[in-house]
Amino acid sequence: MPLIFYRVVISLICVLAVLLAAGTIYGLVRPADAAPVLRLGRSDGTEGTVRETAVRNDDIRVYSGLGRLRIPLSNSSIMILSIAFPYSANDTAFMEELAAKTGELRNIAINYFSSLPADELANIEEETAKREILRLYNTALRLGRIEALYFNDMLIIDGSL
């Protein structure tokens, strides 16, 4: 029994090695401008053409890398907040700066909300908070500007219960 098993395994390894060698040789002698041998996915009549996947100038994405913030407030409540904002995908320097300053941007939002007096927290104006955090973010950033902020989650959990 074990001898048959080893022969089958060795045979499979040999077949795979031959297929790999044949595919490599075929790939080396095949013209560079040849059409694909096998096409996966849907065929939409664009055989033989190259699809461009370059980033367009107007490719706008939403940065949500700050995650969900849990902010302790002055009245022993906790604010749950998610901040997102649009950015240009072709501005790699700005994207790198955002990645490097994620912690600083998180701290700016945490410090802003945790420093608010307890009476302001009950009637907090979202637009005013957005404008102030946007101003603080743009002061901290050097390679680009944030034009708009979105608060995806904004929930205050009362700690006095």
Dihedrals phi, psi of 59, to nearest 5 degrees:
-80, 100
Tokens 């939002």 correspond to 109
* pLDDT score recorded for residue 125: 84
Number of domains present in the structure of the chain: 1
Assigned domain for 123 exists: yes
In contact, 149 and 129? CB cutoff 8 Å? no
Give the structural domain span for 143.
60-157
Assigned domain for 135 exists: yes
d(CA 88, CA 86): 7
Assigned domain for 152 exists: yes
3-state DSSP assignment of residue 9: helix
Positions in the chain short of pLDDT 70: 1, 40-58, 118, 122, 160-161
Assigned domain for 17 exists: no
CATH number at residue 133: 3.30.479.30
